Amino acid sequence: MTTTSRRTVLTALATATVAGPLMGGLGASTAHATGANDLYDSNTDLYTKLAGKEGTDFARRYKRHEQVDSDQKTALPYGRTAVLALHGGGIEGGTSELCLGIAGYDPATLAAKGGPAYDYWMFEAIRSSNNSELHVTSKNCDDKVALSIAAANLNVVSLHGCTAAQAGAPTTRPEAVVVGGLNSTFKAYLRDALGTAGFQTIDGSTEPDLAGVDPANICNRTLLGKGAQLEITTELRKSMFTVNTIAGRATSTTPVYDKFVAAVRSAIARLEASGGEQIIL
């Protein structure tokens, strides 16, 4: 009988971490939760109209993990969850770094941090200004790699940024996270874990623009047809970094960042261990 295969890398990162004094701070632009203000109808539209701009205006990074079961007698473990950040870099600052951390990687070195590693995909705007112009709303994301990663996993958690006003957070406590998506079990586990860690959570059902319930939303385009979405307010994301720039965030994470990452990872672990539809027969 063969030994259990460790998860190994099938593909290299599409783009290295951006260096240099790019700004894109957390408060650089106002987030918009829907596609009403988008300049591009889809990722394909953006890639077409900005042909030749990848690496200067925007970047894509992803990692997929090999799944191997060559043992005829025993079923071996497999990955079931992917982490996405559709508006990273200077659009919804901090979501790139959270994506890497929750997936199990150090955002600065990209080294595995130990414990489960999850597939991830992110789109990052890396201009020195006007990064919000590169926002493509979730239901219009048609990046082929992103769609294939979502479709290959039972679960997706998609990370976004919003304002406190969009989240419906009280002005006296603007640090909050809206938990949405069609997977009600995953939502409950995320709210439990984040709440236990001391974060203010808001049910996405109370904020329609942030609810993440459109079946076309990539967070729901999983093997189960449902997933989870986290909309994190500017104030909460700001507290996760001491240098709020595209170049600075990866190396300046705070204990708040660590606590948030750990909470989401614990919710993923609980979901994957829950049995039922988490088991592929």
Residue 200 contacts residue 176 (beta carbons within 8 Å): yes
Per-residue model confidence (pLDDT) at position 16:
32
User: CA nearest 87: which of 32, 129, 49?
Assistant: 32
Per-residue model confidence (pLDDT) at position 79:
84
Per-residue model confidence (pLDDT) at position 35:
67
Three-point CA angle 246, 250, 254, nearest 5°: 115
**Alpha carbon distance 13, 64 (integer Å):** 9
pTM of the model: 0.88
Per-residue model confidence (pLDDT) at position 77:
77
3-state secondary structure of 249: helix
Domains and CATH numbers, the chain: 43-68+77-274 (3.40.630.100)
Residue 105 contacts residue 117 (beta carbons within 8 Å): yes
Residue ranges in the chain whose pLDDT is less than 50: 1-24, 26-29
Residue 70 contacts residue 85 (beta carbons within 8 Å): no
Per-residue model confidence (pLDDT) at position 138:
97
Per-residue model confidence (pLDDT) at position 206:
96
3-state secondary structure of 238: helix
Contacts of 237 (CB under 8 A, 6+ apart): 26, 92, 93, 94, 95, 161
**Alpha carbon distance 156, 151 (integer Å):** 9
